Amino acid sequence: MGYRVVVVGATGNVGREMLNILAEREFPVDEIAALASRKSMGTEISFGDKTVKTKDLDNFDFTGWDIALFAVGSEATKIYAPKAAASGCVVIDNSSLYRYDPAVPLIVPEVNADAIEGYKNKMIIANPNCSTAQMVVALKPLHDRARIKRVVVSTYQSVSGAGKEGIDELWDQTKGLYVPGQEVAPSKFTKQIAFNVIPHIDVFLDDGSTKEEWKMVAETKKILDKSIKVTATCVRVPVFVGHSESINIEFEDFLDEHEARDILREAPGVMVIDKRENGGYITPVECVGDYATYISRIRQDSTVDNGINLWCVSDNLRKGAALNAVQIAEVLGNRCLKKG
């Protein structure tokens, strides 16, 4: 016996990936419902070798459904997630709405799967921010060995993190720069994204950081260890899919770069590509469509007593969003619901 699964926001980038990954990983689905706004109702979407038509979220009854994967913004989630939860359907939410609620578990299965039991508090589980998810997958096995004191991270985040509008703006701006009369002014982003980088993701806070940077700090502490100090600079780059991160880690205990490389090679969800030669590292183009969090450029930081630098790349629509949500559903099923 399998699960009755709902995907909310099924016509968006992440919603479509959720459907793809449910099928790819052969999640035990007895029945699938793809929900979207009324204007998208009836849109045909692929689910494995089948095609499903989207239904209207406004009129959907969650009673009798087991798991709902939410891939809509916080405003819609605020309306519909409590309705689903009240109907006995466990919500796995990709928005930021519940991430910082102490009663809601925030989960990356390779890092803190044991927190899954907390779903009973509100029948809701939060999916972390895309940039946090890949980073904590890399940090966890190293933290277990040498205890992390401080992390300095700079991100290089693709435009798909801003949704379809972000992808379209990069595409249209790039074309427009070569075709006179077809120039495209910034709309989704605050400045031109084509052939440019923008050190600004989400809104600015009073201390000069952005909300995206604050998310990385708060979520790392909640998922991994509240004692870890984190400082982040988040940058949007002209890449369609795949987030990259330059991570500097300071440990309490000494950790040799060779041991760090060996630890990461054995870590769940991690793939190490690290040769000190031309092309001996991963870039966003190569990670698209993959499940792994890729690690390259592992090396000692000689400027601190116990420091390591590394380069971390992952498909933000997968591990950063849809894949992590499906992995949470797998843990929920195996440990708690136990139907499949």
Query: Is position 95 annotated in a ligand binding site?
Result: no
Listed by start position, the domains of the chain span 3-127+321-336, 131-158+197-314
pTM for the full predicted model: 0.96
List phi, psi (to 5°) of 5: -120, 135
Query: Is position 236 annotated in a ligand binding site?
Result: yes
Output the pLDDT for position 1. Answer: 81
Tokens found for residue 236: 């949007």
Fold agreement between 3-127+321-336 and 131-158+197-314:
no
Cβ neighbours of residue 279 closer than 8 Å, sequence gap 6 or more: none
| Cα-based distances in Å from 267 to 106, 295, 337 | 20, 11, 27
Compute the distance between CA of residue 277 and CA of residue 265 in angstroms, rounded to an integer. 19
**243 is annotated as an active-site residue:** yes
DSSP 84-96: HHHTTPEEEE-SS
Output the pLDDT for position 224. Answer: 98
Q: Which fold has domain 3-127+321-336?
A: Rossmann fold (3.40.50)
Q: Check 89, 130, 234, 312 and give the catalytic one.
A: 130
Averaged pLDDT of the chain: 97
Cβ neighbours of residue 268 closer than 8 Å, sequence gap 6 or more: 110, 137
Does the structure show a pLDDT above 70 at 340? no
Compute the distance between CA of residue 21 and CA of residue 157 in angstroms, rounded to an integer. 22
Query: Is position 333 annotated in a ligand binding site?
Result: no
* pLDDT band at residue 339 under the 50/70/90 scheme: confident
Query: Is position 14 annotated in a ligand binding site?
Result: yes
Does the structure show a pLDDT above 70 at 252? yes
Output the pLDDT for position 39. Answer: 86
Does the structure show a pLDDT above 70 at 269? yes
* pLDDT band at residue 86 under the 50/70/90 scheme: very high
Output the pLDDT for position 261. Answer: 98
Compute the distance between CA of residue 24 and CA of residue 18 in angstroms, rounded to an integer. 10
For residue range 49-78, list pLDDT tens digits in order.
999 999 999 999 999 999 999 999 999 999
For residue range 273-317, list pLDDT tens digits in order.
999 999 999 999 999 999 999 999 999 999 999 999 999 999 999
Amino acid at the residue 131: S
Output the pLDDT for position 64. Answer: 97
**200 is annotated as an active-site residue:** no
Compute the distance between CA of residue 144 and CA of residue 59 in angstroms, rounded to an integer. 47
Query: Is position 180 annotated in a ligand binding site?
Result: yes
Q: Check 89, 243, 287, 312 and give the catalytic one.
A: 243
State the Rg of the chain over Cα.
20
Is 47 within 8 Å of 19 (Cβ atoms)?
A: yes
Query: Is position 238 annotated in a ligand binding site?
Result: no
Compute the distance between CA of residue 101 and CA of residue 106 in angstroms, rounded to an integer. 9
Compute the distance between CA of residue 135 and CA of residue 158 in angstroms, rounded to an integer. 15
For residue range 184-219, list pLDDT tens digits in order.
999 999 999 999 999 999 999 999 999 999 999 999
Query: Is position 265 annotated in a ligand binding site?
Result: no
Output the pLDDT for position 246. Answer: 98
Helices then strands, counting H and E runs in the chain, come out as 9, 14
Query: Is position 105 annotated in a ligand binding site?
Result: no
Query: Is position 318 annotated in a ligand binding site?
Result: no
For residue range 92-109, list pLDDT tens digits in order.
999 999 999 999 999 999
Q: What is the domain class of 131-158+197-314 according to CATH?
A: alpha beta
Amino acid at the residue 75: E
Does the structure show a pLDDT above 80 at 244? yes
Does the structure show a pLDDT above 70 at 122? yes
Query: Is position 132 annotated in a ligand binding site?
Result: no
What integer is the mean pLDDT of 244-264?
98
